[in-house]
Structure 1
Amino acid sequence: MFAHLSALLGGLVTSAIGGWGWFLGPLIIWLLKKDTMPFVADQAKESLNFNITVTAIFLALMILGFITLGIGFVIALPLMFVVGIAALVLIIMAAVKANDGVRYRYPFTIRLIK
């Protein structure tokens, strides 16, 4: 559960400098527990992959906005809002499932860490 919720904490803590810390909490938990606790390692890895995917989406939308000299932000900002709300809901759902001992798989996730 903490692997999923630490993504929210990382985003809040680093929000003053762009909010890039979404993946720091899951990364730390995965690195610490990958050899000792298989369930925790699995959920931390899942959370890490999801948050890397969300960060990549936000980065792509920011690049779209800058490349189009700001015009792309008309599309990018509402999409960022929708992706942010969806990520929040999915992270909370994952934390609840993990707390119940159920493995949660995020939809639309690029699984870079196997």
Structure 2
Amino acid sequence: MSEFDNVTAPPPAPEGAAPQDQRTMALLAHLLGIITGFIGALVIWLVSKDDAAKGFVTDQAKEALNFQITLFIGYVVAWVLSFILIGLLVFPVLMIANLVFSILGGMKANNGEAYRYPFALRLIK
């Protein structure tokens, strides 16, 4: 069994359900990515990362941050490829993926479930 077998598996569920304020902050971490890119998730992660009581918020903000960083890299690649017109097709795909997956993540987080994006570089651990 390699160390990469369970890379995208969600973490074990926390004891009991996450409190409503943590679910709301996790919801915001996912949805702010639509408007602010990685900045919103970064701020929420930086505020909550040192507080052990906010484990759910920290986990979901970190997941949203990793996804937004992955999208940012995708936007840079699409911009470079736009000089040969392929990137013009990639931009709308990335925007739609951001919209759909961020809303899905926000809905799951609001229900107290840990959400993992289907494709995201795990840069922040």
If the length of structure 1 is used for normalisation, what is the TM-score?
Answer: 0.81
Q: Secondary structure at the match of 2:116?
A: coil
Q: Could you tell me which residue of structure 2 aligns to residue 33 of structure 1?
A: 48
Q: State, as a whole percentage, how many aligned pairs show the same letter.
A: 46
Which whole-Å CA distance do the structure 2 matches of 1:2 and 1:86 have between them? 17
State how many pairs are aligned. Answer: 97
Q: Secondary structure at the match of 1:88?
A: helix
User: Relative contact order, CA 8 A, sep 6+: which one is greater?
Assistant: 2
Q: Could you tell me which residue of structure 1 aligns to residue 112 of structure 2?
A: 101
Which whole-Å CA distance do the structure 1 matches of 2:34 and 2:71 have between them? 12
Q: Could you list the structure 1 runs, at least 4 aligned residues long, displaced by more than 4 angstroms after superposition.
A: none
* Equivalent residue for 2:80, pick from 63, 67, 77: 63
Where do 5+ consecutive residues of structure 1 fail to align? 11-21
- The structure with the largest helix share of the pair is 1
CA RMSD in angstroms, aligned pairs only? 0.9
Q: Secondary structure at the match of 1:102?
A: coil
Alpha-carbon offset, residue 64 of structure 1: 2.1
Q: What are the within-5 Å matches in structure 2 for residues 1-80 of structure 1?
A: 1-10=27-36, 22-36=37-51, 37-65=54-82, 70=83, 72-73=84-85, 75-80=86-91
